[in-house]
Structure 1
């Protein structure tokens, strides 16, 4: 059996196309996340952050970016996403250490933590996402768009399923 590039290379050694192919396409990174802490004010409540402080807890919601296609779990404006949504973070080999909000099932996070690629990953299924969707690891069928909800009621949309991980 031939070794796969993710078994022989570190994340920093991968080519751009190898790096991009690691994205499992689950779209959990497109979900809005909220940090709950006592110092949050009305002005800072919905502001983006680049870190999480000790004592703070991050909560995932089932509110997804309006650019997400909820059937394919792909961004409808992938090449323009960071211009259209300034808070959208482009994950790279250079900023992987600073991205604290990736869910436990994220293949980038799994490889960084030495846990390997999950059995449902499209790379192991001829590029198809069927196994991922069947395993419940994507956002398909579980989200509402941020353009369709009142963000003042975000507490009503907090969910724990994005934290699920298997194998």
Structure 2
């Protein structure tokens, strides 16, 4: 890609992306792999700090991505068509940003060139969640941060490093 060419996520409609392009929109934050509850009276999504049993809580990678849907009954494989009706993806999600015509921030691996920046920017769940195998009652683990964007999350450029 030359400097004057726009990246594929700015020019290719979601429904026309190749599988590789679509998969690369995932920033690897792990927030979508956290268990969520839905409030009966308000229909509000309540986030928890409880991760799917297949999520490596340090790297934020699925330990069996190829077979996840066979092993986890309610695991969802996102499609462009589904994005219009999903209200539980975080505001920092690459799929949501591209869907809404927003730029990908500096920490997104497609922009930074490395998956480490999603952790560096405080977007990932790394070190902040527990596995469902250890959690107990989900109601005891309701938290806000997975549904929120950290301060400076949508910056286009990396903030200066503190020394």
TM over 0.5: same fold? Answer: yes
Cα pair 1:91 1:99 within 8 Å, conserved: no
Question: Does the residue aligned with 1:75 lie in a helix, a strand or coil?
Answer: coil
1:23 equivalent in alignment to 2:7: no
Tell me how far 1:93 sits from its aligned partner: 2.1
Matching residue of 1:88: 75
Matching residue of 1:150: 136
1:160 equivalent in alignment to 2:149: no
The superposition leaves residues 46-69 of structure 1 with CA deviations (integer Å, 9 ceiling, x where unpaired) of xxxxxxxxx321110000001111
Matching residue of 2:157: none
Structure 1: gaps of 5 or more residues = 39-54
Tell me how far 1:135 sits from its aligned partner: 1.0
Choose the corresponding residue for 1:77, options 64, 78, 82: 64
- Give the structure-2-normalised TM-score: 0.85
Question: Which deviates more, 154-163 or 69-78?
Answer: 154-163
| Separation in structure 1 between the aligned mates of residue 10 and residue 18 of structure 2, nearest angstrom | 14
| Separation in structure 1 between the aligned mates of residue 47 and residue 135 of structure 2, nearest angstrom | 15
Number of paired residues?
148
Cα pair 1:70 1:139 within 8 Å, conserved: yes
Question: Does the residue aligned with 1:74 lie in a helix, a strand or coil?
Answer: coil
Cα pair 1:26 1:138 within 8 Å, conserved: yes
| Separation in structure 2 between the aligned mates of residue 77 and residue 99 of structure 1, nearest angstrom | 24
Tell me how far 1:150 sits from its aligned partner: 1.2
| Separation in structure 1 between the aligned mates of residue 107 and residue 54 of structure 2, nearest angstrom | 25
1:58 equivalent in alignment to 2:45: yes
Matching residue of 2:159: none
Cα pair 2:31 2:125 within 8 Å, conserved: yes
1:105 equivalent in alignment to 2:92: yes
| Separation in structure 2 between the aligned mates of residue 103 and residue 164 of structure 1, nearest angstrom | 7
- Give the structure-1-normalised TM-score: 0.83
